[in-house]
Structure 1
Amino acid sequence: MMKSNKQRRAEIKARRLERAADLKAKLRTQDARQLSAGGLVPGMAMADKSRLAHYNTTFGEVPDFYLDRAYTCRDCGAQEVWTAKQQKWWHEVAQGSVYSQAVRCRACRQARRALREAALRNEGANLLGDEVARLRALATKKPTADSLAQVEAALQSKWRSLRVVAIEVMGHWAGPAQIERLQAFVANSGDSYGSWEYEASKAAAKALARKAEDDSEC
């Protein structure tokens, strides 16, 4: 009967745990150099010290070898192995601290990363929504020095949608200074479709058209 991927992963994990325990037991009576005298044994990987030379070795020398290390995931409590190959990649390729240790299993790391990314996405979305709502509220009142400054700041925002709302607010105020500014946006439409100049020109033209329509109804 063919084994499932889950069964194969469980067997690999069991072998790694057994190998890590065996290495740990052997290192009680001999150091890594003695252990590898006849060549690297399974569960060991040679360290490339040239890739570790940038570390501050005040607290100890960089390793000669990496050894499989068993650990308990701090989140789910699962027994895992941080393999020598994984350590070598982490320290020498990813440039992780040579003094760091694995503390979470892969599944918990992925779950933690997903939560962090989701939180960042939600934070950004909420922040933008709050800024848009705050800016649109300014359109219902007469402009003041503070609200004018807020609109100017919004026009410099990294979010295009917020800049468009700032143009809309200027259209609602429709004072001489705002009309002149909107006309300048229209005149500077740019040649590139999808550019900010093109988008600002469209938003300003729409705001001016709304103002003209409101005036015609008076």
Structure 2
Amino acid sequence: MCNGNRIDKQTMKSNKQRRAEIKAHRLERAAALKVQLRTQDARQLSAGGLVPGMAMADKSRLAHYNTTFGEVPDFYLDQAYTCRDCGAKEVWTAKQQKWWHEVAQGSVYSHAVRCRACRQARRALRDAALRNEGANLLGDEVARLRALATTEKPTADALAQVEAALQSKWRSLRVVAIEVMGQWGGPRQIERLQAFAADRASSYGTWEREAANAAEKALARRAEKDREC
């Protein structure tokens, strides 16, 4: 039994060491890519094929971000960062970025700020807080609003709820209201979304800019849905 425990501890230690080695390798690779980018265009890095720490972007999945400023990436590169909470050195890999932007549809302007352990700790604290009665008021409001999108033709009550949500103090609820309008479609809803999208010239961080981004996404998804039909 003692020998078995000693073997298990050795295996665990070996696995821990292996993870540390992988992390160190990724940090070195990200640092090397950063140095290379100082002397050559990123596109030259993949001239002979993909290099380690690089993943090509699927621009069709990022079309709703396309603007005249060219923010949509051609590819992703490993990025080193420092965890905001614990200060650990981490790497946001190119593959993780590709999943985040193209599958989870995270903003192309976002980037990793916390390590996995700190993200899990924050999630556990949030889940514990939400178990308290009434703690998830915003979540309940969002769920009710999203349920309205399942109706093909909005009722007067549903339209009133969306209008009320657009006046909410919570920006996230307003964004969901815009998404619901996109799900409904229809001339009136499309006109409203186009009006939101037209205000993209507003400064970063303002509600008008956030609404414009949300409306552009909703219009793109609506157009894709209409094509499928």
TM-score, length-scaled by structure 2: 0.52
Pick aligned residue for 2:40 from 11, 30, 35: 30
* Distance in 2 (alpha carbons) for counterparts of 1:15 and 1:34: 23
- 8 Å contact 2:57–2:73 — kept in the other structure? yes
Q: Distance in 2 between matches of 1:74 and 1:59?
A: 29
CA RMSD of aligned residues (A): 2.1
Q: Which residue of the partner structure matches residue 19 of structure 1?
A: 29
Pick from 51, 57, 73 the counterpart of residue 61 of structure 2. Answer: 51
Correspondence 1:116 to 2:112: no
* Counterpart check, 1:85 vs 2:95: yes
- Partner Cα distance (2:14, 2:40) in 1: 39
CA shift, 1:59, in A, is 4.8
Give the number of aligned pairs.
127
1:76 is displaced (CA, Å) by 0.2
Deviations 1:117-174 (A, max 9, x none): 100002448x9xxxxxxxxxxxxxxxxxxxxxxxxxxxxxxxxxxxxxxxxxxxxxxx
Rounded Cα–Cα distance in structure 2 between residues aligned with 1:57 and 1:18? 33
3-state SS of paired residue (2:28): helix
Decide which structure has the larger Cα Rg and report it. Answer: 1
When residues 89 and 113 of structure 1 are mapped into structure 2, their CA distance, relative to the original with a 3 A threshold, is same
Mark the runs of 5 or more structure 1 residues left unpaired by the alignment: 128-218
| TM-score, reference length from structure 1 | 0.55
How many angstroms apart in 2 are the aligned matches of 1:83 and 1:18?
Answer: 12
Q: Aligned equivalents of 1:98 and 1:107: distance in 2?
A: 23
CA contact (8 A) 1:43 1:84 kept: yes
Q: Cα distance, 1:58 vs. partner?
A: 5.4
Q: Distance in 1 between matches of 2:26 and 2:77?
A: 11
1:154-199 deviation line (CA, Å, top 9, x unaligned):
xxxxxxxxxxxxxxxxxxxxxxxxxxxxxxxxxxxxxxxxxxxxxx
- Residues 93-132 of structure 1: per-residue CA shift (max 9 Å, x gap): 000001100000000001001101100002448x9xxxxx
Distance in 2 (alpha carbons) for counterparts of 1:4 and 1:124: 46
Confirm or deny that 1:42 pairs with 2:52. yes
Partner AA of 1:38 in structure 2 = G
Secondary structure at the aligned position of 2:132 is classed as helix
SS at match of 2:31: helix
Deviation at 1:56, TM superposition (A): 5.0
1:97 to 89, 94, 107: 107
Letter in 2 for 1:25: V
1:32 Cα shift?
1.3
- CA-CA distance at 1:24 after TM superposition: 0.2
Give, in whole Å, the separation in 2 of the partners of 1:49 and 1:56.
Answer: 9
- The structure 2 residue matched to 1:9, chosen from 19, 22, 40, is 19
Is the 1:32–1:65 Cα contact (8 Å) retained in structure 2? no
Runs of 4+ in 1 over 4 A off after TM superposition: none
Q: Give the superposition deviation at 1:52.
A: 0.2
Shifted more, 19-28 versus 1-10: the winner is 1-10
Confirm or deny that 1:73 pairs with 2:83.
yes
3-state DSSP of counterpart to 1:33: helix
How far is the alpha carbon of 1:57 from its aligned partner?
2.6
Q: Percent identity?
A: 92
